[in-house]
């Protein structure tokens, strides 16, 4: 496994270029209404696929632990909103469930 540098640079390039190209092509452009409607759906769609089904195996030995944390996020987020308390609380709940089960 000698000389990883070309591999790392190659990986960096193929990661960076797709992240960059849309900024170069779409910024400052008037976007067709249809494309705009498509782009507007991307955040919610991406989040759906990033959470499900990954969350069900977030704590592989005990899926209920992660799910308990997520239920805390759901309740705290719907009740008061915000980010910090729903997230930190969720980590704490997950920890407690794992701790009690251990």
H helices of 27-83, in order, are 33-51, 63-79
Closest by Cα among 74, 52, 56 to 65: 56
For the packed helices 63-79 and 84-101, what is the interaxial angle rounded to 10 degrees? 150
Nearest distance in Å: CB 72, other proteins: 8
Nearest distance in Å: CB 5, other proteins: 7
Nearest distance in Å: CB 95, other proteins: 4
């Amino acid at each position: 496994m000698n000389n990883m540098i070309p591999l790392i640079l190659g990986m960096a390039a193929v990661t960076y270029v797709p992240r960059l190209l849309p900024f170069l092509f779409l910024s400052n452009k008037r976007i067709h209404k249809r494309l705009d409607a498509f782009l507007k759906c991307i955040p919610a769609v991406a989040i759906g696929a990033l959470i499900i089904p990954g969350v069900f195996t977030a704590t592989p030995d005990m899926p209920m632990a992660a799910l308990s944390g997520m239920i805390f996020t759901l309740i705290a987020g719907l009740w008061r909103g915000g980010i910090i308390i729903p997230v930190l609380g969720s980590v704490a709940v997950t920890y407690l469930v794992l701790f009690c089960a251990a």
